[in-house]
Structure 1
Amino acid sequence: MARNRRLILTSPSEVWSLLADGRRYGEWVTGTQRILAADAHWPEVGARLQVRVGVGALTLDDTCVVRICEPERRLELEARADPFGAARIAMTLLPWGDATLLTIDWHPLRGPGIRMHGLPVDYVVKVRNGMMLTKLARIAVNEGRRPLSRASAP
């Protein structure tokens, strides 16, 4: 499992507003080239987000399905990218003073990713997820939200 944590200097409701907007995933999810479709009821359980991921001309279409949704607290997705299988992506928001501690856990569920699971793959996913959290934090703070001073964050 690859696990990343990031203190985001804005409230859980502000962070959630980004997670709850499926059309904006391409802004912060590393590797997303474009959003192909987002169900209108995203992020309710069962909602789907279809994205094109890749680097340059090497692309594939991916579908994310919401498996668990607890607004402003927890969002768990199943990302399917055939022929590579599927992975569980769990995002947990924890209030931390006026800020948010966001944790992302990634774990392969099925397909070749299970056989390749381990230190090298987890390291690459951890780097990717770290980049995603950095982008998400920047967007959350820059969108007219009042950034917290470092002194006010525990």
Structure 2
Amino acid sequence: MRTVSRWTPARPDAVWSVLADGWTYPGWVVGASRMRAVTPGWPGAGARLHHSVGSWPWMLDDETSVREVDPGRRLVLRARAMPIGAARVEITLHPQAQGTRVEIREDAESGPSLLLPAPARQLGIVLRNREALRRLALLAERAGRATG
């Protein structure tokens, strides 16, 4: 599983605030197209995001759930996109002197994508996660400007 990382001048609390707002999920997760619901307690363990993936009219309703959380530092998710399968996604925030280094690690854990060799599967995941971290950083930087 390859790690993708990105530095942002946004403070860790600004990055975490984006992650902690489940309604922002389609704003930074590549492929997520809309939110349908966020369960109370997001991003606590067991909480779920009900989202859709794809583009109209070919959208699939699915969900992402929290497996583990260390508030402000680490979030482990199970992201489903059936019938494609499910993935384990780990996001970690590393405070820096002037911002935050955000890391994301992801790999399939079920579904037909497991039939692909890991290097081929990871190529697509890495490209998608680079863009996801770019979007996440932009949202956090905007939030950071708004608060201070």
With normalisation by structure 2, the TM-score equals: 0.91
Q: Which amino acid aligns with 2:91?
A: M
C-alpha displacement of 1:116: 1.7
Higher mean C-alpha deviation, range 26-35 or range 49-58: 49-58
C-alpha displacement of 1:95: 0.6
Counterparts in 2 of 1:117 and 1:3: CA distance versus 1, 3 Å? farther
The answer for the alignment partner of 1:18 in structure 2 is: 18
Q: Deviations over 1:23-76 (max 9, x none)?
A: 111111111110011112100000000111114533222210100010111000
CA distance in 2, matches of 1:114, 1:48: 24
2:145 counterpart SS class: coil
Query: Does 1:85 pair with 2:85?
Result: yes
Question: Tell me, which stretches of 5 or more residues in structure 1 are unaligned?
Answer: 147-154
Q: Which amino acid aligns with 2:49?
A: L
Q: Which amino acid aligns with 2:97?
A: G
CA distance in 2, matches of 1:144, 1:136: 12
1:145 counterpart SS class: helix
The answer for the alignment partner of 2:99 in structure 1 is: 99
Aligned length: 146
Whether the aligned pair in 1 keeps the contact of 2:10 and 2:144 (CA below 8 Å) is: no
The answer for the alignment partner of 2:54 in structure 1 is: 54
CA distance in 2, matches of 1:116, 1:6: 27
Whether the aligned pair in 2 keeps the contact of 1:108 and 1:117 (CA below 8 Å) is: no
- Backbone CA RMSD of aligned residues: 1.5
CA distance in 2, matches of 1:144, 1:6: 17
CA distance in 2, matches of 1:137, 1:145: 12
The answer for the alignment partner of 1:63 in structure 2 is: 63
Alignment of 1:119-130 (within 5 A): 119-130=119-130
CA distance in 2, matches of 1:130, 1:11: 19
The answer for the alignment partner of 2:4 in structure 1 is: 4
1:143 counterpart SS class: helix
Question: Tell me, which stretches of 5 or more residues in structure 2 are unaligned?
Answer: none
The answer for the alignment partner of 1:134 in structure 2 is: 134
With normalisation by structure 1, the TM-score equals: 0.88
CA distance in 2, matches of 1:58, 1:126: 24
Whether the aligned pair in 2 keeps the contact of 1:48 and 1:66 (CA below 8 Å) is: yes
Alignment of 1:139-150 (within 5 A): 139-145=139-145
CA distance in 2, matches of 1:137, 1:144: 10
CA distance in 2, matches of 1:6, 1:23: 22
Q: Deviations over 1:75-108 (max 9, x none)?
A: 0000122222211000000111131110000011
Q: Which amino acid aligns with 2:130?
A: G
